[in-house]
Structure 1
C-alpha cells in the first residue's frame, strides 16, 4: 500500500530526474556514479507512475531518460528496451512529434551501443522524419543536436 502524498511522489520524481541529469553531465563519472544513476532514474520513473495525474508524456520522457542512461553506461539491450517503450507510449498517445522523434533518437542510440549501425541509421531516419514536424524552434534544435551527435 502506498501511503505517500501524491505531491510527494511528484517532487521525488522531479528531483530524481534532475539528479540523473547532473550525473549524466558529469564527464568524470565513476562506476558507482553510473550505478546510482540507474537506480535514481528508475526511482524517478516509479514516482511518476504514482502521481495521480501523470500523463503519457511523463511516461514517454521517463522511458527516454531510462534509455539514455542505459546507452551511456553501455547496456544496449536495456537502452533498446526502454527506447521501444518510449516509441510505443508516444505513438499510442499521439504525442507531439518531438516526443516520438526522441523515442527514435533513443532507439538509434541503443542500436549504436549494440553495434548495429544499419538499424541505428534507420532509427535515426525515423527520428529525422519527426524532427521535420517539430515546429518549436528550441525543441527542434535540441532534437537536431542530439541526432547530430549520434
Structure 2
C-alpha cells in the first residue's frame, strides 16, 4: 500500500507537535532534539505546498527561532529571527507578525548576552504591538516581551 500525505497536513501536524514540546515545563535532550526536527519538518513541508504564503514562512521562521532559543542555541535562534523579520518586512505583513519578529530577535539577543540589542528589538516589538488591533494578540505579544524583560533583570 502506498502512503499518501499532504504536505500541508504534515506541516500543520509537525507545527502542533512542536507546541506540545514548547508547552512542557521541562524537556529532555531527546525531546529537544525531536522538537528541533519537527520545527524544521514543519517549515519544509510548508514550502512544498503550492498555497504557502509569506505568513506561513514568517510563522515558521519565528517557531524555529523560538525552538532554538528554548534549547539555548542562540546563534541559530538569531539566524531564524532575522529570517522572520526579513520575510515579514519584505512582505509588509501585519504589525503582529513584524512585532513577533522583533520579539524573536530580542529573545535571541538576550540569550547571546547582547542586552542593548535585545532592548532595542523589544522596543520595536512594543511599537508594533501598539498597532495590533486584536487585544488578545496584542496582549500575547506584550506578555512575551515582558518575559524577556524579566530575564534582563535576572542577569
* TM bin (shorter chain): over 0.9
> In structure 2, how many angstroms separate the alpha carbons of the residues matched to 1:110 and 1:60?
16
Secondary structure of the corresponding residue to residue 144 of structure 1: helix
Which residue of structure 2 aligns with residue 126 of structure 1?
124
Superimposed CA distance per residue, residues 57-109 of structure 1 (whole angstroms, 9 cap, x where no aligned partner): 00000000000000000000000000000000000000000000000000000
Query: TM-score w.r.t. structure 1 length?
Result: 0.95
Query: TM-score w.r.t. structure 2 length?
Result: 0.92
Question: Of residues 12, 25, 29 in structure 2, which corresponds to 1:31?
Answer: 29
Cα displacement (A) at 1:28 = 2.6
> In structure 1, how many angstroms separate the alpha carbons of the residues matched to 2:59 and 2:95?
13
Which residue of structure 1 aligns with residue 62 of structure 2?
64
**How many equivalent pairs are there?**
146
1:25-104 superposed matches below 5 A: 25-104=23-102
Long gaps (5+) in structure 2:
149-155
Long gaps (5+) in structure 1:
none
Deviating above 3 A after TM superposition, structure 1's stretches of 4 or more consecutive aligned residues are none
Cα displacement (A) at 1:137 = 1.0
Secondary structure of the corresponding residue to residue 149 of structure 1: helix
> In structure 2, how many angstroms separate the alpha carbons of the residues matched to 1:58 and 1:27?
27
> In structure 1, how many angstroms separate the alpha carbons of the residues matched to 2:14 and 2:125?
27
